Amino acid sequence: MAKKKKTAKPRKKAKRKTPGQPTKYKPEYENQALILAEKGFTDKDIAKLFKVTEQTINNWKKQFPQFFESLKAGKAIADQRVVQSLYQRALGYSHPDIHISNHQGVVTKINIIKHYAPDPTSMIF
């Protein structure tokens, strides 16, 4: 007897999942990254706080443009503070201070203005 050939039924396409684990990214990380970057935290420091690797932070920068923009904005603010501080140091500056002294058991507090001379070596940076 001749064998009948089985005709193949068309398979339903299975929904493909993306490989790997689901992302740990949360939208609130945008604001947190902005604040942390403003305070001078590096990508490595931010990764530790978010309990991810530095590579994950780099991946998030590519996947989530808002996250990347928040980091850039925060770092720009921190960089601007550094520039301003170096500028003040290069030109010299003054600021209010409190001088506390203890003479024979008598503590005195005097408000003073401290003056700092210009520092030419700060212009190297």
> Is 117 within 8 Å of 93 (Cβ atoms)?
no
What is the rounded average pLDDT of the residues 1-7?
65
Query: DSSP 3-state assignment of 30?
Result: helix
CA distance 56 to 67: 12
Taking 90 as the threshold, does the pLDDT of residue 13 lie above it? Answer: no
CA distance 26 to 24: 6
User: What is the per-residue pLDDT across 47-106, written as a single tens digit (0 to 9) for each?
Assistant: 999 999 999 999 999 999 999 999 999 999 999 999 999 999 999 999 999 999 998 889
Which amino acid would we find at residue 52?
A: V
**Phi, psi at 80, each rounded to 5°:** -65, -35
Give the largest CA-CA distance in the chain.
Answer: 122
User: What is the per-residue pLDDT across 34-60, written as a single tens digit (0 to 9) for each?
Assistant: 999 999 999 999 999 999 999 999 999
